[in-house]
Each structure stands twice: as C-alpha cells, then as structure tokens.
C-alpha cells in the first residue's frame, strides 16, 4: 500500500470535501495546523497539507 499526500491551498475546504466523500480524520495527527491525516472509506491513509514539498505531494 502506498499512502498519498495531497497539496491544497485551503485545508479546511479539502478536509470537508474528503469527509463528504467518505474519509475520516485520524485520531492521531502529525502536521499540526499545516495538514491533516485522513483515512479513505477502505481504511487507507492519506495526508492533506498546505505546505508544498517538491516530489512529495500530488497537485
């Protein structure tokens, strides 16, 4: 399994969109205010972040 990391400009909107699509936020968070760890409906982890890191995030 390969986790995906997504770069977004608006974290709150992206997290809300992910929740509407069935994702849930992880109880344990590692990013602080710059990102959120989520799980898709099948339980696969992914991260949403407002900090761009070359080669790490999908646009």
Answer yes or no: is pLDDT of 53 > 90: no
32 within domain boundaries = yes
55 within domain boundaries = no
> Which domain CATH number covers 35?
3.30.720
Indicate the pTM of the whole model: 0.81
Give me the domain span that covers residue 43.
Answer: 4-49
14 within domain boundaries = yes
Specify the pLDDT at position 51.
86
43 within domain boundaries = yes
Q: What is the DSSP string of 11-39?
A: HHHHHHHHHHTT-EE-SS-SSGGGEEEEE
Average pLDDT, the chain: 88
Give pLDDT tens digits for 9-36: 999 999 999 999 999 999 999 888 889 9
| Domain count along the chain | 1
């Amino acid at each position: 399994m390969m986790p995906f990391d997504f770069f977004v400009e608006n974290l709150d909107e992206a997290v809300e969109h992910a929740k509407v699509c069935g994702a849930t936020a992880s109880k344990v968070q590692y990013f602080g205010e710059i990102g959120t760890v989520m799980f898709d409906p099948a339980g696969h982890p992914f991260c949403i972040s407002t900090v761009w890191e070359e080669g790490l995030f999908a646009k």
